Chains A and B, each alone.
Chain A
Amino acid sequence: MSTPNCLVTNDWICGEYLRTRSEELTEATLQHVGITVVSVLLALLVAVPLALLVRAKPRFAGPVLGLTTLLYTVPSLAMFSLLLPVFGLSAALVVTGLVLYALTILVRNTLAGLDAVPAETREAARGMGYGSWRLLWQVELPLALPVLMAGIRMATVSTIALTTVGSVVGRGGLGNLIEDALPTFFKAQVLAASVLCVLLAVTADLLLLGLQRLLTPWARIRTAPGGA
């Protein structure tokens, strides 16, 4: 168990590995974070207008919800393989696939959040002379925020996990390290990359939870008993 030899003896935990490959680990982590952030932001940019469209024109509800649910049954492995002819080997390919998956969660939660806005609140705002944009920005979206943020947290955590599958086209962040380590049974690298993946997801979840609490100070009192 002498430390310098743990690369040779192929130990699960290897300080020497973490020291000598820290650059590689950082690079993979940054790629992972980049892919996740871009994917979730793009998905949000698509999901919120889609949800608003569905709410304004209920006849779109069936097709939009049906399509996003159907997309969810397409295996990630196949999704990335199928997008390959369109994008070539690029991060855009993985991002596109992840955006499509995140849409399912985000469209549903945006709709659920908007539905949860009490009708009286809406009426009161209208009575005070709020136009539909001001109503949306100042009343409906803030009140929908807790449910929307729950969706963003769920989408972010699953996107971080799914990004690893992007290693099938060489753009999987930490997944690349896992894939590279498999043929040589390199335990330290598989474990380090896996643990980093989980840590990333947990950190992102906690950061988003903090953001949610900052954005919705009025909800803090109500959520406190349930969360304890």
Chain B
Amino acid sequence: MGIVTDAWAWLTTGAHWTGEEGIGQRLAEHVYVSGAALLIAAAIALPLGLWLGHLGRGGALAVNVSNVGRAVPVFAVLALFMVSPLRNAGYVPTVVALVLFAIPPLLTNAYVGMREVDRAAVRAARGMGMTGGQLFLRVELPLARPVVMTGVRSAAVQVIATATVAAMVGQGGLGRIITAGFALYDTAQVVAGAVLVALLALLVEAVLAGADRLLSGPARARGMKT
């Protein structure tokens, strides 16, 4: 257990938290790039996936786009940016690489969630004379929400874990703590970096799960009324 106490000692050393290369700065960078990437990816993938699911068309397209997306290594995308003029664009390369990485799980789950809505409920809503928009907002979306949110949570965890790869091309984020520790043969620092990333991922997952539970109350009540 020596390595755990060493990592704890590294984490609790005040000097490691401050400065340009400190944990505070690296954590802020990590949260910024992951958060921006998730928001942008969600803004693209969720409407598209939900819409395709509502139409019940383009499923093969959504799934294939996701499979190809999974096949593109984040490291390769980052490297391509770093040998192009975009390397001077600050956080843009990392955010774009992570957006491409986050779209597949979001898109697949949004589409699958919509398609898995009980067809009987959809037919009943249509029979009650609901328009496409009403059907989408009052029936399909509330019923699809658990699957869609599972996609959001798993995308968040994957993006936070994968944002560390940015350090391999010299970009910021908690990955830099790991690569710096690796270069110094300082295993305690590598463990500390990994623990920080894992904790951040688990924290975000818990926050998203909590927010989902809070939001689900009113949505369910509204569904009951109609």
Contacts and interface: CB of A to CB of B under 8 A. Distances in A.
Judge: A and B partners, yes or no: yes
B86 interface: no
A73 B198 contact: yes
A45 interface: no
Interface in A145-197: 153-154, 157-158, 160-162, 164-165, 167-168, 175, 178-179, 181-182, 185-187, 190-191, 193-194, 197
B190 A78 contact: yes
B73 A78 contact: no
B71 A73 contact: no
A82 B182 CA distance: 9
A181 B83 CA distance: 9
- Dominant secondary structure of chain B at its interface with chain A: helix
Given A78-B164, A78-B194, A85-B187, A73 B178 contact: no
Contact of B80 (A162, A165, A194, A226): A194
Interface of A: 70, 72-79, 81-82, 84-85, 153-154, 157-158, 160-162, 164-165, 167-168, 175, 178-179, 181-182, 185-187, 190-191, 193-194, 197-198, 201-202, 205, 226-228
Nearest to A79: B194
Given A77-B178, A78-B178, A82-B190, A157 B165 contact: no
Given A74-B161, A178-B79, A82 B187 contact: yes
Contact of A77 (B72, B158, B164): B164
B155 interface: no
Contacts of A84: 182
B202 A161 contact: no
Interface string B10-33: 000000000000000000000000
A74 B71 contact: no
Given A77-B165, A161-B73, A168-B182, 9 more contacts: A70-B198, A72-B161, A73-B202, A77-B175, A160-B71, A165-B168, A194-B80, A198-B76, A201-B72
A179 B3 CA distance: 29
Contacts of B84: 187
22 contacts: A74-B198, A75-B161, A75-B162, A76-B164, A77-B167, A77-B178, A78-B197, A81-B182, A82-B190, A157-B70, A157-B71, A160-B71, A161-B74, A164-B75, A165-B168, A167-B168, A168-B168, A175-B73, A194-B72, A194-B73, A194-B79, A197-B72
Interface string B172-204: 000100110110000100110110011001100
Contacts of B82: 182, 185
B59 interface: yes
Interface residues of B, number: 41
Nearest to B158: A72
In order of increasing CB-CB distance, the 8 nearest A-B pairs are: A201-B71, A78-B194, A194-B76, A75-B164, A161-B73, A164-B73, A73-B201, A164-B75
A227 to B, nearest CB: 6
A199 to B, nearest CB: 9
A158 B154 CA distance: 15
Contact of B175 (A75, A181, A186): A75
Contacts of A81: 178-179, 181-182, 190, 194
Nearest to B194: A78
A98 to B, nearest CB: 13
Contact of B197 (A75, A175, A185, A190): A75
Contact of A164 (B60, B70, B76, B194): B76
Given A75-B178, A78-B178, A202 B68 contact: yes
B80 A191 contact: yes
A197 B161 contact: no
B57 to A, nearest CB: 11
B193 A78 contact: yes
B216 interface: no
